[in-house]
């Protein structure tokens, strides 16, 4: 069967609410919000090459402006509220902005295939170059795995980054 263009929506319990604060080691996560706009724009623009290398995919195509990113951030807020996807701003314990983590329905970031039908969430993330140098890319991968095991009702995650710690890098 051809699954091209199809998205496997989340199957979430009706009373389940997504966490609004997550902590693991010295990493903190909260839903990406308009209050993060300036930090997010600076972090994205400082990380273009690193995002393309580690996260892969089609975004970002170039530097973002505050106006452009505002629309994106509001979109993420709406999707979070509607439980359609979950985007988190990632900071260290001192509040320094490190990057973002995304929990998307399978098929929205990575094209849906028969092999991916058993997965119920597509996970990706990125960090700034300074955070990467301090080991936060790998730390965030461990944090996300922990949060998926303890805070979310998902059972099978697909990690769609081009660079997965502990695995061979795969191209996009």
pLDDT of residue 130: 98
Which tokens in the block code for residue 131?
Answer: 């955070």
Tokens for 114?
């028969």
- pLDDT at res. 167: 75
Please write the tens of the pLDDT for every residue from 80-115: 999 999 999 999 999 999 999 999 999 999 999 999
- DSSP code of 131? H
What pLDDT does residue 1 have?
A: 83
Tally the residues of the chain. 172
**Which pLDDT tens digit goes with each residue over 6-46?**
999 999 999 999 999 999 999 999 999 999 999 999 999 99
Q: Give the homologous superfamily in CATH for domain 22-159.
A: Gcn5-related N-acetyltransferase (GNAT) (3.40.630.30)
Which SS3 state, helix, strand or coil, does residue 157 take? strand
Q: Read off the pLDDT of each residue in 65-79 and give the average, rounded to a whole number.
A: 98
Q: What 3-state class would DSSP assign to 88?
A: strand
């Amino acid at each position: 069967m051809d699954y091209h263009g199809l998205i496997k929506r989340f199957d979430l319990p009706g009373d389940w609410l997504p966490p609004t604060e997550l902590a693991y080691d010295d990493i903190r996560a909260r839903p990406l919000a308009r209050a993060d706009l300036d930090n997010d724009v600076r972090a994205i623009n400082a990380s273009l090459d690193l995002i393309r290398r580690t996260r892969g995919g089609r975004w970002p195509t170039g530097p973002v402006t505050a106006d452009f990113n505002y629309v994106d951030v509001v979109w993420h807020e709406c999707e979070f509220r509607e439980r359609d996807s979950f985007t988190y701003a990632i900071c260290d314990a001192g509040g320094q902005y490190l990057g973002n983590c995304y929990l998307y329905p399978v098929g929205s970031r990575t094209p849906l295939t028969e092999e991916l039908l058993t997965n119920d969430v597509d996970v990706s993330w990125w960090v700034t170059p300074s955070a990467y140098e301090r080991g936060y890319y790998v730390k965030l991968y461990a944090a996300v795995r922990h949060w998926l095991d303890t805070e979310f009702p998902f059972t099978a995650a697909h990690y769609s980054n081009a660079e997965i710690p502990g695995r061979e890098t795969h191209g996009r």
